[in-house]
Amino acid sequence: MKAIKFLPIFSRFGLAQYHLYFYPSNADKINFKLLLNNSFQSLKCSVGVDVAPSFLIKYVYPYKFPNMRYINRATKTLRIVREYCVFQLVQSYFNFYTNNSFSSERRKINPNEFGIHVQNVVFNDKWDKPLEHLKECNLEVVTTTPHGPDSEEFSNLKRIYSRKPVDLKKSLFFKNNSKLKDFSTLFSKKLVRPYVKFKNLGFHEKIRFILPNISNNIAEKLLRIFSFFNYCEAYKIKGSLYVQGLEDEIEFDNGLYVKLRLSYHTGSIENSDVIGALLTTLEESFEVLGINHYIVLDNMIKPESFLDHVFGNDNDLNGYNPLLNLTWSEKDKTYINHKLYDEKNNPLYPSLFQPKNIITKE
- Cα–Cα dist 36/152, whole Å: 28
The confidence band for 108, taking pLDDT boundaries of 50, 70 and 90, is low
Burial of 265: CB neighbours in 10 Å, binned 0-12, 13-18, 19+: middle
For the chain, domain boundaries: 3-91+140-196+300-360
204: pLDDT strictly greater than 50: yes
pLDDT in tens, 117-164: 999 999 887 776 666 667 888 999 988 899 999 999 999 999 999 888
Range among 104-108, 180-184, 263-267 rated most confident: 180-184
Is 70 exceeded by the pLDDT of residue 314? no
Check residue 203 and give its pLDDT.
Answer: 62
Q: What is the pLDDT of residue 129?
A: 67
Rounded-to-integer distance, Cα 149 and Cα 258, Å: 32
DSSP per residue, 111-155: HHHHHHHHHHHHH-TT-----TTEEEEE-----SS---TTSHHHH
Chain-centroid distance of CA 53 in Å reads: 18
For residue range 52-69, list pLDDT tens digits in order: 889 999 999 999 999 999
Taking the whole predicted model, whether its pTM rises above 0.85 is answered as yes
Residue with the bigger pLDDT between 148 and 170: it is 148
Residue type, 288: V
Q: Which pLDDT band holds residue 102 (cuts at 50, 70, 90)? A: very low
